[in-house]
Every structure is written in structure tokens, then in C-alpha cells.
Amino acid sequence: MIQVFTTLKEILHARSSRDSSASIGFVPTMGNLHQGHLRLLQEGLKHHEQIFLSIFVNPKQFGPQEDFLKYPRTLEEDLNKISTLLSLPDYQGKDVFIFAPKDVEEIFPPGFSSSISVGEITKKFCGKSRPGHFDGVTTVVYQLFSLISPHTAYFGQKDFQQVLVIKKMIQDLSLPVQIKMIPTVRQENGLALSSRNQYLNTSEQEKALVLFHTLKYIADLIGKESWQKAKEKVQEFISQTLQDSAWEYLEVCQQKDLSPPADNTHQLVILGAFRLGKTRLIDNILIN
Ligand code: AMP
């Protein structure tokens, strides 16, 4: 069964009247759900008695020139997708509580003036090209954690830097929430699912594959040898690739904090951001 809350009052009432022994999972989203979001929800449904999913296009994480106004808002279709999922034998009898604030003021009431800013890790990669983006993310996620009080929150590896930023916020502020990162769900051709893929026309969809193919090529180079042996080749390949101005960044870093890898680093992540017209796509591959 699905229950939808659209106001702050309703969600606070649901929090205060729920069974305090129930384990609560939470999936924050901006809606326009696809199989990537649904994987997070499925994982949550497996592990918790109650699962909350929020649908909120958060203005604070969009820059002034970004796509906040045109971001796809498809609540009815989203609810249908969740109902369809709940009709599968694995999930029958399960409840999903949706928090879909009817307007921005339900989350950020007039006069709201607080902000959570995590520091260092928010300044590079996506944070560099989208100033203030991660402050917007952490502020809304902190607010949603306060309203829902989940035990575990589910995030996608697709936004790997975001996962690190949220984990750092939780650590710094001693929040009682566990984070689970779910692997990226892709189309058969490798393109990571994203709500922004629908901005792409057919030829851009083809070109978008460059992002995954490039990350994969680098992953194969490192996988065959080790970072220490592959690094010169990889760095040469990356600097050639970056000559194409469609690339915003492409880099190999340490998984733990996105710092440059040392020769003996085993847990690496290859991160890339690629622009196609006005659409900006990000992706990453982990190497363990
Ligand atoms: P969004 O609605 O784009 O803010 O995404 C909500 C959550 O879904 C975030 O934790 C994303 O990382 C995650 N997500 C988005 N796309 C994918 C994907 N292709 N595979 C797995 N998780 C995803």
C-alpha cells in the first residue's frame, strides 16, 4: 500500500504516531523515478519494516542557470511505478510512505535561513562547477532526516561524491543514520540511468556513451596492471581526452575522500562529467 504525505504537519504526525520499534528505511529522490531509484527502494523494502521515499525537487541544489524549473515533475507516474513494484510477489503486503511536499515551503518555510556546509570534499569535481550545490544537498537531506528519523538511508553510487559528502555530514554531526550505497543501474549499452537522459535527442544519446566507454577503458587499463604500473598511461590518456571541451572533469582518485591516489592505493574511483549541449551527465566506476 502507498500512503502519500504532502505537508510538514502530516509527515510529523506520521513520525510521532509510528511504532517506535519498527526499522525505518529512507530513499530521498527528486522524483521522475526510473529503475535506478526503484533499485534503492527495492533494497529498502528488503531490509525495513517501514520505508519512506521522498519526492522533492530541491531548489537549493540548483544553480541560477540550471534546470530547476524544467526538471521533470511526474508525481502521478511515479506513484504508479511504485504501485506496480508493490504488486510483485516479493513486496506484497509492504507499505511505502511517500513524502511529496506540495510546495517548497513545506520543507523550507518562509524565513528558513540555516544551511549545512560540509567543507573540503564539496569543493571539487561537481562542487567546483556547481558552487553551492552540495550545501543545497546536505541542507535538504539533513532536514529530511530530521523529519523522518530513518535508521538507514539509501543513495546511489551514480552520485558517488554525494554519498561521500552525506557520509561526512553524518560523521561530523554524529547523526544516527546509516548510509547504504547501491550500485549504478545502467541501460544495456552502459549509459547510467538518469532523469536528465530524457533531455538528450537520439544523436546525443549515442554520444553520451562516450562517458561510460571512457571510464570503462580507464578501468580496464588499471584492472590489467595496478595503479602504480598503469598510472602514466592513464594520465596521458586522460590529458588527451580532456582536450575535448565537452569534458568537465575526468580523474582517478581514492574512493575514501577523492584525494589523488598513492602508488599503493587499491580502492580507486574513476569519475567523469561530460556535457552534451545544455545537459551535464556524470558517471563513475569503482576499482577495488
Ligand atoms: P535524484 O532523484 O536524481 O536526486 O536521485 C535520487 C537517488 O537515486 C540518489 O541517491 C541517486 O544517486 C540515485 N540514483 C539516480 N540514478 C541512479 C542510477 N542510475 N542507479 C542507481 N541509483 C541512482
| pLDDT value at residue 265 | 82
In contact, 138 and 155? CB cutoff 8 Å: no
For the cut 90, the answer to whether the pLDDT of residue 263 exceeds it is no
pTM over 0.85: yes
Q: Is the minimum distance from the CB of 37 to ligand 1 under 6 angstroms?
A: yes
The Å distance, Cα 225 to ligand 1 centre, comes to 31
Q: What size, in residues, is the chain?
A: 288
Alpha carbon 13 to chain centroid, angstroms = 28
- Catalytic amino acids? 37
Amino acid at 182: I
Cβ-contact 115, 259 below 8 angstroms: no
- Gap between the Cα atoms of 44 and 174, Å rounded: 22
Q: Assess whether the C-beta atom of 158 lies below 6 angstroms from ligand 1.
A: yes
What pLDDT does residue 48 have?
A: 94
Which protein residue's CA is at the shortest distance from atom 7 of ligand 1?
Answer: 29
How does pLDDT run across 177-221, given as a tens digit for each residue? Answer: 999 999 999 999 999 999 999 999 999 999 999 999 999 999 999
